[in-house]
Amino acid sequence: MKDLSKEELVSVFVLSAIKILKADKENDSIYESHINEIISRLSAGEEAVKKVAELEKEVERLSQWKTQMLIVESSWDVQAIGKLLNLKWGDNIRKNIEPEIQKLKQQAAAGQRAVEKYNELISHVETKHPNETRHETAIRYIIEKERKADQQSKEAGNG
C-alpha cells in the first residue's frame, strides 16, 4: 500500500463522509452523529497533516545539522589526536582531549614561569664578554664562582 499525500488523505475522508451520509439519510439522529464523526475525522486529519508538516520541517532541520556535523567531523583526524595524546588503543579520544589540554596548559604555564626566572637571571649579567652571549657569560660566572667556592672550602678544610 502506498503512502497517501495530504490531499489524497483529505479526499479519502470526504468520500467516506459522503458514503456514510447517503447510507443513513433516513435516520436523522444517525445522520447527525455521522456528520459529527466526519467533522471530527476531518479535524483530526487536518491536525495530522499539520503535525506531519511540522515533523517534515524538523527532519529537514536535523538533516542539515547532520550534514554540518559530518563536515566538522571530517575536518579533523581523531586518530591523529589520539596518537598525539599518547592514548592507548580503545581509549575514548573525545573524553581525553579536555584533560590533556588542561595538562598542556599547566605545562605551558610552568614553562613560562621558568622562562621568566631565566630572563631574570640573565638580566643580572651586566657585562657580557666578547664572543659570548649573556647566557654563556652567566654560565661562565657561575662555574668560576663555584670553583672558587670549592677551592676555598678545600683550603679551609686543609688549613
Instruction: Check: CB of residue 134 under 8 Å from CB of residue 122.
Output: yes
- The string of pLDDT tens digits covering residues 16-66 is 766 666 665 555 666 667 667 777 777 777 777 788 888 889 999 999 999
Residue 136 DSSP SS3:
helix
pTM: 0.47
Cell numbers linked to 109: 604555564
* CA quadruple 135, 139, 141, 143: dihedral, nearest 10: 180
